[in-house]
Amino acid sequence: MRNMGLGDKLLREMRDFNLEPNDITYNTMIDLAVRVDDLEKAWKYLDEMKLLGIQADSFTYSTLIKGIKNGKRIQNGPQALNKAFSLLKDLQEEGLQPDEVLFNCLIDACVKFKDIKKAEEA
């Protein structure tokens, strides 16, 4: 059995008690992954949400963008910034309206990666 992270362990224990995770559960797991700089795990949780038919929301996407912006392992600024903007597109394609927190996260990411032109697009 592979090494299970805290978030995976908590989700397994929930299911052991016949509790199904919801959007709040996954948003919390994504936030936890971002806080420990494990963006790969955060993306995995987003994919799981989608597979289970759980609607991601502006908070979900803002948290992921915050992870892109604050991640210590981020090497390629332009690629990371494109990923952040793709999240905005995903949100809109799901019929959701981005909020001011999401836009602020995008603008902060643009400033961090020194792409003011991209910030003007947000």
Determine the pLDDT at residue 30: 95
The residue whose two tokens read 């603008």 is 107
76/18 Cα distance (integer angstroms): 41
28 vs 90 pLDDT, higher one:
28
- Please, what are the domains in the chain? 6-121 (1.25.40.10)
Q: Residue 75 — pLDDT band, cuts 50, 70, 90?
A: low
List, as one string, the DSSP characters of the chain: -PPPPHHHHHHHHHHHTT----HHHHHHHHHHHHHTT-HHHHHHHHHHHHHTTPPP-HHHHHHHHHHHHH-TT---HHHHHHHHHHHHHHHHHTTPPP-HHHHHHHHHHHHHTT-HHHHHH-
User: At residue 1, does pLDDT exceed 60?
Assistant: no
49: number of CA atoms within 13 Å, CB side? 21
Choice among 52-56, 73-77, 100-104 with the minimum mean pLDDT: 73-77
- Reading the block at residue 51, the tokens are 């597979």
Q: What percent of the chain has pLDDT over 90?
A: 38
Three-point CA angle 60, 61, 64, nearest 5°:
90
Choice among 50-54, 59-63, 74-78 with the minimum mean pLDDT: 74-78
User: At residue 67, does pLDDT exceed 50?
Assistant: yes
Three-point CA angle 25, 8, 67, nearest 5°:
65
pTM value?
A: 0.81
